Each structure stands twice: as C-alpha cells, then as structure tokens.
Structure 1
Amino acid sequence: MKASGIFQKAEFDLRVDRVRALMAQRGMDACLIASPENIYYLTGLDHQGYFASQLLIVPMEGKLALVTRAMERAVVRDMVPDLIHIGYQDGATPLPPPTDSATDIIMASQDQLGQPTGLRPWETSAGVVTRDPRGEAPRSSAAAEAIIAALLERGWEEGRLGLEENSSFLTFRVAREVAAGLPRVDWQDCSGLIEDCRLIQSPAEQKFTRSAAEVSDAMMLSAIAAAGAGVAQKDVMAAVYQAMFHRGGTYPGFIPLVRSTRTIEHEHGTWQDDKLRNGELLFLEMAGCVRRYHAPMGRLVFIGRAPKTADRMLKVCEEAIEAAADAIQPGVKAKDVYAAWHAVLSRHGLDRYRRHHCGYAVGIGFPPSWSGSGVPIGLRETSNMELRPGMVFHLMSWLLRTGRGDSFLSDTVVVTSKGCERLTRTPRALTVR
C-alpha cells in the first residue's frame, strides 16, 4: 500500500502484517472492519464520511478493499489510492445527459466542444437518499448489497470471515443483511483484534501523540487563564478552541469538557450558557489532537476562593496519581496500577472510594470519542492486561464527591522500557481564578 502522507509505506505494511498474523491464528480468511479508527490505522483514511456505512475488507493476502458511498471516491483516491475502492449509490439514479440543452434543465454547463463542465448531475444525485412515498424502507441497503457483491467477487461465498460485531459504526441492519446474503459463511467476531494491535504505538505514532500533548497543554493553560468569577463558560470554551487551532491541533474526537459545580456530576457533559460564580469549582478535561492522535488531560480550578480542604485533597490526589505512574512498568498488570492508586486513598482514609478505572488507553480517535470508539480499555481493578512499552494512557486521579473535599488530576503518559513518562506538562498546583 502506498503511503497516505501520514506514515511511510513500511509502517502501514507492518500494521497489516500484524493484523494478518492474528487473523491466521484465528483461522480467518478475511476480516471486515467498520470502526473509523481501525480503518485509519490500516490505511490512513481521514474523513467524515464514516457517518454512513463504510467497510474495509482485509484479506489474508492481496489488496485491501474499501466499500463506501460512491461520493467518497475523490477522498479515497487522494488519501488511499493503492486499495480497491467499491462505491455504492444510496440515492437517486444519476440524471441522463441532456437531449436538448436549450430546453432541458441541467446542472452542468458545456464547453465550446459541447462537453459537460463544472458540477455534474451525478455528483449531486448520487447519495441523496430517496424514500418510498408510502414511507416504506427499501428491500435491502445499497451498502449491504455492495459488501455482499465484493465478497462474492473474491470467492467468499463460504469461508471463515471476521466481522466487527462490537463496532458502533456497523449497523444491525447492514450486518443482518450481509449475513443473510452469505448464509454459508462462518461468521466470527473480530472485535478487538485491531484494537489490540493499536495498543502499542510505534515511534512514528508517538511523535504525533507528543505533539498532541503540547496542544493539550496550550488548551488547558488558555482555559485556566480565561476563567474567573463572572466569566461566561462559553468564553472559556472559546479560549480552548482558539488555542487548539493556533497551536497546530485539529478537531478532537470528543468535545472539551468545561463544567462548573452545578454540572460537575454530568460525566460527559460540557459547558452551559451561564457564568462562573464565586466559590464554584471549574472542571476542565480536554485533549489536543494531531493527525487523529490524542493526549487527554484534566485539572480542577477554584473560582474566587478555595475551600480549606482543597490543598490537602490535592496532595492526596497527586500522591495517588504519582503512585500509579510509579507502578507503570513493562510486564506489570493493569490491576496492579489501579491497586497502587487506590492504596494511597486507603492510607488517607478513603478506602471505600472507588472508580471504575484510574486511566485508559488512548491514541487514534474520531468523533464521538478520543478513546478510540466504544468503552475504553482501562486500568481497572480486575484487569489482567499486561503493560508493554509504547502503550499510551490517560492516567487519572479523580476525587470528586468524596465527602472530604474535591480534587482532580489527569495526564497522558507513555509506557517506556524504563517505566512511565508523562507527556502533558501543565502545572498541578492549586489554582484559584
């Protein structure tokens, strides 16, 4: 496969080889990939067209094939030219050529030789969804028909094929129709196969993650500088976005989280249309993004004044996150990192305080997630995942609603051959604005 401009050809070849090795272990003839993060990982395709059905077919040998809406042909041609592109039309039939340009309504002008120029009818009609006037759904989806045809063309009327059953981007309808159209196929769930490969970032990937961390720091510092009593939350968010783009970042997979005391418990909520008040907490969590690689981080800011418990709880919070960082070593299990984090809480009388994890793996992300779609792979209390060099985590120390005060710290870290390296560097000192 040719390089997409993001990584060298050898990088993509290595990734595909790694996936094929896992496919061989499971006896798969091919796997069908729907998650945009996994498609990006294997091809470098970076676009927004994944809101509609798209599927990457990875065979054990030969070229990869990508099924998308026909209107995506230009972006596929320019970004990933060395794969087989199969476009489907999910809308109106292309308009016929004009029979009489003087009377026909056409959307394309003609040059001196009478050839169409400019915007052609096909480009606007293909992909414009049409519905039965009675409101009935069509018999089968164009995406499923294209996928079935592509598989049959490659001789997979039967065989052992993997399907990302857990992908948020594989609809039940398409999966059902593809399975029904190929009843002799032995369908296997290949969810997690490529995610396992993505867990370890190559040096080239880590370069983008480090750049994303620099963007994260700029975003966080701008948010803190903008905060204060009487400041509208939208103005804090505006400062975040301005820093994000000026420092070379792009839109992240998940919107920056800016919450006050009134919405602190809205786990994945963000700014409200009101102003910060004296005595409130300001919760800030965000991720810079460079070439789809993310580096999340979080801080807690006190507006106007800090309560008497703030300094003590911050020390506990930082001691806990440092204990977790110290525990991160190649070969260590995820549950051991969580245990190190929680042991600090226990020493400070917070043994009964629990979180579902103290961090999770990050890297490639497309909206709506910076953790790579689906429930993140976490540093959980019961996880036996073994840490390896190149893994990148959003390491978190979350002490909210403890009954003894509030504090919150999080940073992006990478596992190295020697231990743990912190990538986001915004100061952790008690902050009052």
Structure 2
Amino acid sequence: MELPFTLPTYHDRLARVRKRMAGQAMDGLLLTMPDAVNWLTGVSSVGYLWPQALVISADDLQYVTRTTEEPGVLMHSWLPAPRLYDIAVEDAVEVIAETVRTLGLDQATVGVELDAFTLLPSTWDRLRALLPEVTWVDASLLVPEERLVKSPAEIGYQRQAAEMADHAMDVVLDAIRPGISETELAGIAAKALGEAGSEHAAIPPMVVSGERSALVHALAGRRTLSRGDVVCVEFAGVVHRYHAVLMRTAVVGRASGRVREVAECLERATEAAIAAAVPGAAAPAPDDACNAVLAELDLVRRRCHRIGYSLGVAYPPGWLEPMTLVAGDEHRLAPGMSFTIEPNLALPDEGFGLKMGETVLCTPDGPESLSRHGHGLYVV
C-alpha cells in the first residue's frame, strides 16, 4: 500500500466529511468525482472514465469500480476490497444501486455530486429509477468545502509542485526563439515538468503567440514564432495530484510601446491583488485591488478570466476548487488556503493578450507567492 498521507489523516478526513453529512441531515453520500475520491481514499486512476462511486454511510463505506482498477485500488488506497464489476457482463449502474442497498441507504437521504462531469445524465436517471425511495440531495460542495484549508503536508506538496513549475518555466523561456512552434514549446514544458518529477496535470501546457496570444485560454497550435511576438505560457506542476499553477508572458525581441505599457500595468495589478489576499479578507478583495490598478488604463474591460480560484487535488479535465475570488463568493481567506492569482488580459483588437499568474498561499503572516518568477514581461 502506497499512500501520500498517513492512515490517521484519511480517517480524520472521513470523520470530518461524516460530520458535515450529519450537519446537513444526510444519511449517506455517493461520490463520483476523482478528486474527492482521491482525497478521502488515495485512489488515483483514470477509472472515472467509466461509472464509479464511493458510497459512504454513517458507519461504513464501499468503493465501486471496474475490475481493471483493482490493482491500483489495492496499491494506492487504504480501502478494503472494492466492489468490482466486469464491464463485459455487469451493468455498472445496477452495481452502484446494489451497493447503496447493501449499506442500508435505499430508503435514506443520500447526498450526491450533481455538479459532476462523472455523473452522466443517463446514469443519474437510472440511479433514481433503481432507487425510487432514496431522497437525493445536492452535495456537490460537501467534500470540496472541507478541502479548502490545506494541512502543512498538503501545502508541502504544493510547494514542491510550484518548484517544478518554476523549473519548467525557466526551460521554456530559454527555448523561446523565432521559428519555434507553439506545440514544440508546449512539448518542452511537458518534458521539463516530467524531468522535475511532476505528474501529469489536469490541463496540458498551454502556449499561444502573436495574435493568438489574445485567445489566452487556448491550447498550443502549429503557429511558429516571429520577432515581436507576444507569447503566453501556462502549466502546472503536480505532486500527489496537488497542483501549483504558473503562467507568464514573454516577447520575442523588442516589445511595442503598447505591449510594454499594458504589461507594466498588469505587473502592478498582479502584485496589488496578491497583497490583498490577507487572512480574513473577503474572497473578492484581490479582484477589487487588481481592478483599481487596471482602471488606470481602462483595462478592466479587457479582463477575460476570474482573478483566481482555490486549487489542490485535481484530475483532468480541470483543476478548480469551489472558492472563486469574485464578487458574490462569500468565502473569507484563511491561513492554509491556496489559490491562483491570474488577472489575464485579452486585447484581440490590438493583436495581443497577456497572461500573468501563479499559486498563492494565505499564511498567518499574509499572502505568499509560491513562485520565484517576477511579474514583469520577459524579453527573450
């Protein structure tokens, strides 16, 4: 058995989740999201591409997955024998429903992650049909909310992941030159991350250049770089599925006056946002601080992304946790929370965009960036 945390850590997490369940009048919980399952059990695989579920009652639990996943479950989790199904001869949804009955939850109130890409509409319809006496309630945020404040061990993994991302950014920035393609740079980033020890990230390295830099949230294409191009790079280091995101912008050769002007403003806005991420601050505080700077150049309307979100354990296709640093989010920042600060800008009518962001930790002494890279425009 290989686990990134001690057995008491997992047992404590399960106890905390059960306390939340009781506080929300849930008799049971059915989880399908791989990050939630991993955080509670250690299970780490791509088995979530097929129906799976961790079913939890007040005093028992059972993990349901396909037979292919058995070796990984036994090696990478503390779970007792899982309930395995053979996809050639068994119906996965019927097996999950059978497990709910076995745990005595077929006439109970059961929480389920309705906001989950792992719970297909067809699966959800069939579960309700097979378990007509279950009272289902939305528990999409139950486990994620419990994960927002990280332990010292979790933060340690994110620090390692951030160091790997820093290393990869060094390598990518050094490789930027006229004639190289976005896909080649993305491959260089992936190779550097792997050499540093990073696991595969929930989102592959993103590289956009020239006019494509205004896309900001696009994957690398086949475009080759030329002098004067703006180049945006984003990726994450990963340790035991804990992510640390890093994004920076470079220019090949000399930047135009406008690019330099916008980049300087974005640098100050990023640093203002990080400085505002103090313990006790309302979640939107970094966004407000950022916008106050960007307003100097009428750049707030050029914002193309929320300024940040909590992150930790993640699997493809995404790495967001539920707290978002935007107006309307009622969270308050607290020591042990980790989140991105990324006030990205898109100016497609001017032919460029800028990415600037990283993982930030809220500590008792204030905010701490987990990257050693500065926030200015890199000229290569």
Same fold? TM cut 0.5: yes
1:319 aligns with 2:316: no
SS in 2 for 1:309: helix
Partner of 1:38: 36
Which is bigger in relative contact order (C-alpha 8 A, separation at least 6)? Answer: 2
Partner of 1:69: 66
**C-alpha deviations, 1:348-407, integer Å up to 9, x for none?**
4445444452111111111111225xxx63211332221111111111122331878754
Partner of 1:393: 339
SS in 1 for 2:123: helix
Partner of 1:341: 290
SS in 1 for 2:340: strand
**Using the alignment, how far apart are the partners of 2:219 and 2:300 within structure 1?**
30
1:211-226 alignment runs, 5 A limit: 211-226=160-175
Q: For the Cα contact (< 8 Å) 2:214–2:354, is it kept in 1?
A: no
**Using the alignment, how far apart are the partners of 1:298 and 1:80 within structure 2?**
33
Give the counterpart of 1:161 among 106, 110, 124: 110
SS in 2 for 1:184: coil
Q: For the Cα contact (< 8 Å) 2:263–2:354, is it kept in 1?
A: yes
Partner of 1:78: 75
- How far the C-alpha of 1:244 sits from its partner, in A, is 0.6
Segments of 5+ residues of structure 2 without an aligned counterpart are none
1:236 aligns with 2:178: no
**Using the alignment, how far apart are the partners of 1:414 and 1:221 within structure 2?**
22
1:43-192 alignment runs, 5 A limit: 43-62=41-60, 64-92=61-89, 142-192=91-141
Partner of 1:20: 18
Higher helix share: 2
**Using the alignment, how far apart are the partners of 2:148 and 2:359 within structure 1?**
14
SS in 2 for 1:251: coil
Partner of 1:246: 195
Aligned residue pairs total 379
Query: Residue 293 of structure 1 aligns to which amino acid in structure 2?
Result: Y
Q: For the Cα contact (< 8 Å) 1:313–1:406, is it kept in 2?
A: no
Segments of 5+ residues of structure 1 without an aligned counterpart are 93-140
**Using the alignment, how far apart are the partners of 1:412 and 1:74 within structure 2?**
34
**Using the alignment, how far apart are the partners of 2:337 and 2:93 within structure 1?**
36
TM-score (norm 2): 0.94
**C-alpha deviations, 1:219-249, integer Å up to 9, x for none?**
1111111111111223212221221111111
**Using the alignment, how far apart are the partners of 2:304 and 2:252 within structure 1?**
26
**Using the alignment, how far apart are the partners of 2:75 and 2:353 within structure 1?**
50
Q: For the Cα contact (< 8 Å) 2:202–2:319, is it kept in 1?
A: yes
Q: For the Cα contact (< 8 Å) 2:209–2:230, is it kept in 1?
A: yes
Partner of 2:323: 377
**Using the alignment, how far apart are the partners of 2:303 and 2:259 within structure 1?**
20
**C-alpha deviations, 1:55-82, integer Å up to 9, x for none?**
00121223x2100012222211222243
Q: Which moved further from structure 2: 288-297 or 309-318?
A: 309-318
Partner of 1:104: none
Q: For the Cα contact (< 8 Å) 1:357–1:381, is it kept in 2?
A: no
Aligned-pair identity (%): 30
Q: For the Cα contact (< 8 Å) 1:143–1:174, is it kept in 2?
A: no
- How far the C-alpha of 1:427 sits from its partner, in A, is 3.0
Query: Residue 241 of structure 2 aligns to which amino acid in structure 1?
Result: R
**C-alpha deviations, 1:152-172, integer Å up to 9, x for none?**
122222011111111110111
**Using the alignment, how far apart are the partners of 1:380 and 1:323 within structure 2?**
15
Relative distance call for 1:4 and 1:198 in structure 2 (3 A) is farther
**Using the alignment, how far apart are the partners of 1:431 and 1:206 within structure 2?**
28
Give the counterpart of 1:227 among 164, 176, 179: 176
**C-alpha deviations, 1:130-185, integer Å up to 9, x for none?**
xxxxxxxxxxx711111111111222220111111111101112221111111111
Query: Residue 329 of structure 2 aligns to which amino acid in structure 1?
Result: S
**C-alpha deviations, 1:315-335, integer Å up to 9, x for none?**
211211111111111221112
**Using the alignment, how far apart are the partners of 2:119 and 2:94 within structure 1?**
14
Query: Residue 190 of structure 1 aligns to which amino acid in structure 2?
Result: A
Partner of 1:414: 361
Partner of 1:427: 374
Q: For the Cα contact (< 8 Å) 1:67–1:147, is it kept in 2?
A: yes
Relative distance call for 1:319 and 1:151 in structure 2 (3 A) is same
